Amino acid sequence: IEWDREIRYTPLTEVSAFFLETLKTRVTNAPWRLGYHIQPTCGLMNDPNGFCFFAGYYHLFYQWFPLGPVHGLKHWYHVKSKNLIDWIDCGVALVPNEAINSHGAYSGSAFILNEELHFFYTANRRDTNWQRSCSQVIAKLDSDGFIYTVNEAISSIPSGYTEHFRDPKVWYEDNTFYAIIGAQSSINYKGTAVIYSSRDGIEWKMLGEIQTQLDDFGYMWECPDYFTLDFAGETHGILIFSPQGIEAQEYKYQNIYQSGYIVGSQINLHSLSFVHGEFEELDFGFDFYAPQTTTAPDGRRILFAWMGLPEIAYPTDKDGWAHCMTLPRELYLCNGKIVQKPIKELVNLRKNRLFHNEIVEDTFLGRCQTFELEASCLNGFTNFQLVLYASSPEFNASKEENTQQLILRYDAKIQCFIIDRTNAGIVFATEYGTTRKLYLSKPLTHIQVFGDYSSLEVFINEGESVASLRHFPSFPENNNLIWNGRHAKMTLWQY
Ligand code: FRU
């Protein structure tokens, strides 16, 4: 298919059922489909949207282009779950077929109003000359399962900002709704964010631009998300956002675009000043972007992110689909840094325990493609290499057919954790490098690794750092997990 403008903006109603069914069948049978992650039935998914807990279910929506692995007319797809593990497919929920969103429903967030699920999102349209305009729209989920516009809350871009103005995220504080929106200044073309408020959730007024110490930090901040977390009896404000245009440094900011956070005292909602520390990346892997959080009924702050990036071709493209979500993570604050742990519900995915032992030498751990591996060493690991998805159980594989493998390595002397996907299968995004390095502030004592056919999520030192990535082994039978190292306590569960 030649993905020209016309095809990218074809409404779903004009696509034959046969085309969609054929595509879905092709995707269902494609390699590299995930086992326990949220993924599209066909087409491309990107940002998590409207993540919330409502009426007994967690609801997650995501940016969806149905027809293939490209960005085009964006819909919202809907899944829901009682436990964040078993997801019910609710189908497409936001179909951009109103005049206000005729050229796509971009990212946004959910809030509850009069016991109904509402959303604040960016609606796009284009005129006959293909000139784009957007507004920020309040919408709600109807009993038929579809989302409809309730009010055009922000009909045009406020002066001082360019057309890069999108992704409203709502929070509730002191009987007032607030929303933070990603923006680009039209004065200096730098990324920033703007805050609005509303008494009723329907009519919104601009309060102004957030005042941070990041005056020159990329050209656009996508998907901002503001919330609070407590630490040592104090409440702190946290702003997560995805800045574009940050230059790579030696080990930082390696991906095309970044996602991270700043922590400070709470935003002053009168002056809009936010006094905060350094920007920290949320994930040091290859594939992570546009995270969104919500609160669980028990108060936990939970994050989902898109395990992918814009403007990068992925090996699944040829099969008509692209991307998946990360696993949900619980966020904590500790000494000014966010700690991210896999949500506790994940233990319910543990099936067979394939390995459970204290080991002192190179060990073959097992064969599986969907797994959780937990390794610890109280005194700090010595050098190791964890070889994942290797084609043979031989240690220190050197034979040609053994070179496809994903490697996690630790250099204890310099406390450096390395992820190497150079030979992990089909290579892609190589211009952004094929290894990632993380220098730890203290010795490595614990890792937890979640593998799912073509995804890997590595939690380091109980969630102090996390790395997410996709990898695409050429041979599905490449499923040997091998430990080359010394002392470790290790458990491997098949998922
Ligand atoms: C981030 C993003 C958002 C936008 C959406 C469009 O990945 O570019 O800024 O709303 O994706 O799909």
The gap from C-alpha 318 to its chain's centroid, in whole angstroms, comes to 22
Query: Does residue 250 carry a pLDDT above 60?
Result: yes
Fold of 350-494: Jelly Rolls (2.60.120)
Given the residues 4, 47, 89, 215, select the one marked as catalytic: 47
Q: Is 259 in the pocket of ligand 1 (CB under 6 A)?
A: no
| 334, 339, 343, 344: CA torsion to nearest 10 | -50
| Residue carrying the six token digits 């959730």 | 201
Question: Quick one: pLDDT at residue 395?
Answer: 66
Angle at the Cα of 121 (from 172 to 132), degrees rounded to 5? 145
Beta-carbon contacts of 267 under 8 Å, excluding residues fewer than 6 positions away, are 195, 210, 226, 237, 239, 273, 274
Beta-carbon contacts of 168 under 8 Å, excluding residues fewer than 6 positions away, are 108, 109, 120, 121, 122, 136, 179, 180, 181, 196
Kindly indicate whether the ipTM for this predicted assembly is greater than 0.90, answering yes or no.
yes
- pLDDT tier at 400, thresholds 50, 70, 90: low
Probe target for ligand 1 pocket from 223, 241, 244, with the most ligand atoms within 8 Å of CB: 223
Dist. CA 440 → ligand 1 center (Å):
32
CB 382 within 8 A of CB 443: no
Q: Is 244 in the pocket of ligand 1 (CB under 6 A)?
A: no
Rounded to 5 degrees, what are φ and ψ at 28? -55, -35
Probe target for ligand 1 pocket from 63, 134, 137, with the most ligand atoms within 8 Å of CB: 63
Q: Which atom of ligand 1 is nearest to the CA of 222?
A: 9
- In the structure encoding, which two tokens stand for residue 89, read together? 């497919």
Residue 418 to residue 440: CA distance in whole angstroms: 11
Q: Is 310 in the pocket of ligand 1 (CB under 6 A)?
A: yes
Paired sense of beta strands 205-209 and 220-231, if any: unpaired
For residue 333, list its beta bridge partners. Answer: 338
CB 422 within 8 A of CB 430: no
Probe target for ligand 1 pocket from 9, 94, 181, 222, with the most ligand atoms within 8 Å of CB: 222
The whole-chain average pLDDT of the chain stands at 96
| 56, 58, 63, 64: CA torsion to nearest 10 | -70
**Domain boundaries of the chain, sorted by first residue:** 5-342, 350-494
Q: Is 325 in the pocket of ligand 1 (CB under 6 A)?
A: no
CB 297 within 8 A of CB 345: no
Q: Which residue has a Cα nearest atom 9 of ligand 1?
A: 222
Asked if 47 is an active-site residue, the reply is yes
Question: Quick one: pLDDT at residue 476?
Answer: 79
Query: Does residue 8 carry a pLDDT above 70?
Result: yes
CB 162 within 8 A of CB 189: yes
Using a pLDDT cut of 70, give the percent of the chain over it: 98
Q: Is 169 in the pocket of ligand 1 (CB under 6 A)?
A: no
- Residue 301's alpha-carbon distances to 104, 148, 158, 209, in angstroms, are 29, 28, 31, 25
Question: Quick one: pLDDT at residue 330?
Answer: 98
Residue 376 to residue 494: CA distance in whole angstroms: 18
Q: Is 290 in the pocket of ligand 1 (CB under 6 A)?
A: yes
Q: Is 31 in the pocket of ligand 1 (CB under 6 A)?
A: no
| Residue carrying the six token digits 């190791």 | 384
Rounded to an integer, the average pLDDT of 209-218 is 98
Residue 76 to residue 71: CA distance in whole angstroms: 13
Beta-carbon contacts of 187 under 8 Å, excluding residues fewer than 6 positions away, are 160
Query: Does residue 399 carry a pLDDT above 70?
Result: no
Question: Quick one: pLDDT at residue 1?
Answer: 82
- In the structure encoding, which two tokens stand for residue 220, read together? 């656009």
Residue 436 to residue 457: CA distance in whole angstroms: 13
Paired sense of beta strands 321-322 and 43-54, if any: parallel
Question: Quick one: pLDDT at residue 401?
Answer: 60
Q: Is 168 in the pocket of ligand 1 (CB under 6 A)?
A: no
Residue 92 to residue 24: CA distance in whole angstroms: 14
Paired sense of beta strands 416-420 and 406-411, if any: antiparallel
- pLDDT tens track for 251-271: 999 999 999 999 999 999 999
Dist. CA 103 → ligand 1 center (Å):
13
Query: Does residue 402 carry a pLDDT above 80?
Result: no
List strand residue ranges (DSSP E) for 115-233, in order.
116-126, 132-141, 147-154, 161-173, 176-185, 191-198, 205-209, 220-231
- pLDDT tens track for 154-190: 999 999 999 999 999 999 999 999 999 999 999 999 9
- In the structure encoding, which two tokens stand for residue 257, read together? 């675009």
Dist. CA 47 → ligand 1 center (Å):
6
Q: For 154, how many CA atoms within 13 A lie in the half-sphere containing its CB? A: 30
- In the structure encoding, which two tokens stand for residue 14, read together? 């004009």
Query: Does residue 296 carry a pLDDT above 70?
Result: yes
Q: What is the CATH number of domain 5-342?
A: 2.115.10.20
CB 233 within 8 A of CB 177: no
Probe target for ligand 1 pocket from 8, 74, 107, with the most ligand atoms within 8 Å of CB: 107
- pLDDT tier at 131, thresholds 50, 70, 90: very high
Q: For 257, how many CA atoms within 13 A lie in the half-sphere containing its CB? A: 23
Rounded to 5 degrees, what are φ and ψ at 466? -140, 145
- In the structure encoding, which two tokens stand for residue 404, read together? 């496809």
Question: Quick one: pLDDT at residue 477?
Answer: 82
- pLDDT tens track for 346-398: 999 999 999 999 999 999 999 999 999 999 999 999 999 999 998 887 766 56
Does residue 395 or residue 324 have the better pLDDT? 324
Q: Is 165 in the pocket of ligand 1 (CB under 6 A)?
A: no
Q: Which residue has a Cα nearest atom 8 of ligand 1?
A: 222
Residue 416 to residue 466: CA distance in whole angstroms: 14
Q: Is 47 in the pocket of ligand 1 (CB under 6 A)?
A: yes
| Residue carrying the six token digits 């992990």 | 424
Is there a shared CATH topology between the 5-342 domain and the 350-494 domain?
A: no
